[in-house]
Amino acid sequence: MKSINPANDKLIKEYAEYTPAEVQNIIKLVDKDWHSWRKTTFAERSGLMKKAAEILIKERDECAGIMTAEMGKIIKESRMEIEKCALGCIYYAENAERILQDEIVETSYKKSFVGFDPLGTILVVMPWNFPFWQVFRFIAPGLMAGNAGVLKHASNVMGSALKIEEILQKAGFPENLFRSLLISSSQVKAVIENPIVKAISLTGSESAGSKVAETAGRQLKKLVLELGGSDPFIVLEDANLEKCAQMAVTARNLNCGQTCTAAKRFIIVESVRAQFQELQKKATEALMIGDPADETTQVAPMSRPDLMDELHAQVEKSIQMGAELITGGHKLDRPGNYYAPTILGNVKKGMPAYDEETFGPVAANIVVRNEEEAIAVANDTSYGLGASLWTRDLARGERLAREIESGMVFVNGITTSMPNMPFGGVKRSGYGRELADYGIKEFVNIKTICIQ
């Protein structure tokens, strides 16, 4: 397994894959530490989780540097990601006990309550695009709930995986409570089938989620899936177009557009299309493309060359089918996986830019007549992760937000994640939730206890 810098195509490090025997032995060690961990108090867990947050902040630049080198995230965004991980740790350190306290219920019994017990060892399958945050989105609630974990990270970010393991051990967590498995996808099935593994959390592609769900289903194991998205960004006629256009460009090009919740389909009411598109084009062409380690860079390379080729094929096919190329639409002539930030106009149903998830810096502009058609187009997708809607009328925004078929809707804001709000989708974007009260309760035994 190789980690290659996407900005210059140079090899960072090669990792030897763990053998099946090594993997099964690690799982046994994790299970052993879990049996002790499950008996710890919330206060003990909280102290260690806060220590992990301290280490993340102290070693922020080192962690950010690993991330930027491995998958090409611009350095400013990498630092922000590490800070977000620390915030997630602190949130659950301070709130897990409150969320998971026994819930008293009045029944005919002398005492009745609902308890929340840890499940055990959870398999965490995570992607490369947010190599620290995606993992800490499980670690903070999962470990605070009393669970243990084994991580199958993406093959190109194994340095990030091992650094996360190191941070937890430095914080004082049991040595084998959370371990990174240096394995390829071919070994995931055997890990799921191990009886020690009680549940799975996966963030990744629709195809990866389907395969893991099939294996987990046969084993009757709990599964949380956060998959792809083709998030709508709705521009109504009464939107603040200056701000809306600037945020549209940000929402599409953050992390070089390689985000499940990135705005991808820009649904614009016809009366403001020309003005919005002009502002959008100007802001897109002003983006600074460069080395992700440079502080001034706004758009960095895509993580892998095969993903860039897939994106370009989607763009070319959409143009062949009648989409208008407003700007971009080509690979940049320089070392690394650089793709020009792109806007496609006149996008219609049947084009890849309309029907498929475009995982890179490509915006698909779709023109509609009114709000009714805007909502219909927003819902005309197999995905349902996030959505963004822009209007000056807040009551209108709330009303329309309730009509959008997605797990999250942001009115006059771009889709994001925060520790105290649930994160997840519907339709082929997956099921289950991460973060907030809902996320920590995904991997507990919700137990009814009645005493007479």
**pTM for the full model?**
0.96
Structure tokens at 350: 């049947």
**What does the chain come to in residues?**
452
Supply the residues annotated as catalytic.
226, 260
Residue 271 CA to residue 374 CA, distance in Å, equals 13
Residue 48 CA to residue 170 CA, distance in Å, equals 10
Selection from 20, 406, 383 nearest residue 194 by Cα: 20
Selection from 381, 380, 374, 351 nearest residue 364 by Cα: 351
Residue 273 CA to residue 75 CA, distance in Å, equals 34
Domain ranges of the chain: 2-226, 231-411
Residue 152 CA to residue 124 CA, distance in Å, equals 6
Please, which residues bridge with residue 447 across strands? 115
CATH of segment(s) 231-411: 3.40.309.10
What is the fold, at CATH topology level, of the domain defined by 2-226? Answer: Aldehyde Dehydrogenase; Chain A, domain 1 (3.40.605)
Which residues does 174 contact at the CB level (< 8 Å), separation at least 6? 33, 36, 37
Q: Tens digit of pLDDT per residue, the chain (452 long)?
A: 999 999 999 999 999 999 999 999 999 999 999 999 999 999 999 999 999 999 999 999 999 999 999 999 999 999 999 999 999 999 999 999 999 999 999 999 999 999 999 999 999 999 999 999 999 999 999 999 999 999 999 999 999 999 999 999 999 999 999 999 999 999 999 999 999 999 999 999 999 999 999 999 999 999 999 999 999 999 999 999 999 999 999 999 999 999 999 999 999 999 999 999 999 999 999 999 999 999 999 999 999 999 999 999 999 999 999 999 999 999 999 999 999 999 999 999 999 999 999 999 999 999 999 999 999 999 999 999 999 999 999 999 999 999 999 999 999 999 999 999 999 999 999 999 999 999 999 999 999 999 99
